[in-house]
Structure 1
Amino acid sequence: MLNSLHDEVAAKLRDRIFSGDLAPGSFVDEPALCAELAISRTPLREALKVLTAEGLLRHEPRRGCFVSEVTERDLDDIFPVIALLEGRCAFEAANNVTDADLVALEQLHDRLNRSARASRINEYYEANFAIHEAIITLANNRWLAQVIGDLRKIVKLARLQQLHAPGRLDQSLSEHMAVFAALKARDAEGAEAAMRTHLTRQRVALRELARNQKSRLSA
């Protein structure tokens, strides 16, 4: 019962962090959360340990927990690793993909294309996520999936919207179609290279977006 309760509490706090309700750098008020969630300190502290291990919180001795802040340096460090790992997933997926898998992927890419043409960014993100998840699943490597999932949480903490960078939506679509073409050809090395390019360009777009926002603020 205790395990399920602290997992539930961790999920609630994780959602609050991702939504911005618990803002980066903010202090986690344990007594207030215990009262609000009607729980004791034990499951809350177990939940905080989980989120600290995920990198979403940082613990400071004698002070407590704070929501982690993601820096540009963090993103520079994380994206090459994600590109490497998801590239390997694409490599394995190309070796494992079946004709039925390609039909399912074709449908997802049709959704992606329609969303891009209509500039429906939220729908594009949903289709994009589904495609990445499908490729990770096809790789059939739980260790890759686990590490990618952990790193994605840190990136999500930054609450970034790389598709808002000028020209990024069309560029992203083109990159996805390159990955899909390699998967259809069962070209493992081509799929890996295309996926790594896709993730690397995401970071470039985010850096450009950050520069533009900084320029507007200083203008």
Structure 2
Amino acid sequence: MRLISSSLHDEVAQQLRERIFSGELTPGSFLDEPALAEQMDISRTPLREALKVLTAEGLVRHEPRRGCFVNEVTEQDLDEIFPVLTMLEGRCAFEAALHASDADLQALEALHDKLARHARARRINDYYAANYAIHEAIISLAGNRWLAQVIGDLRKIVKLARLQQLHAPGRLEESLAEHQAVFAALRTRDAAAAEAAMRVHLERQREALRELARNRLGRRVQ
């Protein structure tokens, strides 16, 4: 069915984002414009505009005379992004601890209960979705649109790689414990502890991704 939108290229961009984040369009894969336009029943113009948006976001890269490809996140990218993300999301946790109402904390508690259920059942995709919702909720509770905007841009890039870290041995349980530490600090309105716990959570995410990269390299060398 043909897409209908007041801003068609925005809707096309969102559909492509979802296909990239779901893994349907894998890192490094070529984006065949004629095939995509046919699949979406659109002309090439809104598709090209959508690809420009995704290129600006860092999800897609354009190579002259070759076309567009889904971007691949490098270890250098992650080394550069995570310290910034850690600082910014830590600040969000600090602000959220100061601003969260009792109702906000109840909603966060429900999300953490869902997170724990997914961890026990080892439903990694569902766990990641709940994890993402918790981060988004804390960012929202901080009430700082500038923080939210910058974090949103960075999270789009990291999202290409972050799901992988949950497959590392023991990482699912560690991630849950880290989230529970953040929530415990939020519940007591301890802003400094919430910031510190969020920083630890993100630093350990980066280390898990680094360990996975080392393991992949080791397997290729063998």
TM-score w.r.t. length of structure 1 = 0.89
CA shift, 1:26, in A, is: 2.9
CA distances 1:139-194 after superposition (whole Å, capped 9, x unpaired): 11222222222211112223642122122122212211211121112111111111
In the other structure, the counterpart of 2:197 is 194
Unaligned runs of 5+ in 1: none
Q: Residues 25-104 of structure 1: matches in 2 within 5 Å?
A: 25-104=28-107
In the other structure, the counterpart of 1:108 is 111
Matched, 1:144 2:142: no
Paired with 2:134 and 2:5, the residues of 1 have a C-alpha distance of 35
Q: Is the 8 A contact 1:70 1:158 kept in 2?
A: yes
In the other structure, the counterpart of 1:172 is 175
Q: Is the 8 A contact 2:92 2:138 kept in 1?
A: yes
CA distances 1:56-90 after superposition (whole Å, capped 9, x unpaired): 11223344322211111111111111111111110
Q: Is the 8 A contact 1:18 1:159 kept in 2?
A: no
CA shift, 1:205, in A, is: 0.9
Aligned residues: 219
Residue type matched to 1:6 in 2?
A: H
TM-score w.r.t. length of structure 2 = 0.88
Matched, 1:127 2:102: no
Paired with 1:149 and 1:84, the residues of 2 have a C-alpha distance of 14
Identity of aligned residues (%): 76
CA shift, 1:135, in A, is: 0.7
RMSD: 2.1
Call closer, same or farther: CA 1:27–1:170 in 2, change over 3 Å: closer
CA distances 1:119-142 after superposition (whole Å, capped 9, x unpaired): 333332232222111111111122
Paired with 1:122 and 1:36, the residues of 2 have a C-alpha distance of 26
Residue type matched to 1:60 in 2?
A: E
Q: Is the 8 A contact 2:162 2:209 kept in 1?
A: no
Name which of 156, 160, 165 aligns with 1:162: 165
CA shift, 1:2, in A, is: 7.4
Paired with 2:12 and 2:137, the residues of 1 have a C-alpha distance of 28
Paired with 2:120 and 2:64, the residues of 1 have a C-alpha distance of 51
CA shift, 1:3, in A, is: 5.2
Paired with 1:159 and 1:200, the residues of 2 have a C-alpha distance of 12
Name which of 201, 208, 211 aligns with 2:211: 208
Paired with 2:20 and 2:32, the residues of 1 have a C-alpha distance of 14
Paired with 2:56 and 2:105, the residues of 1 have a C-alpha distance of 36
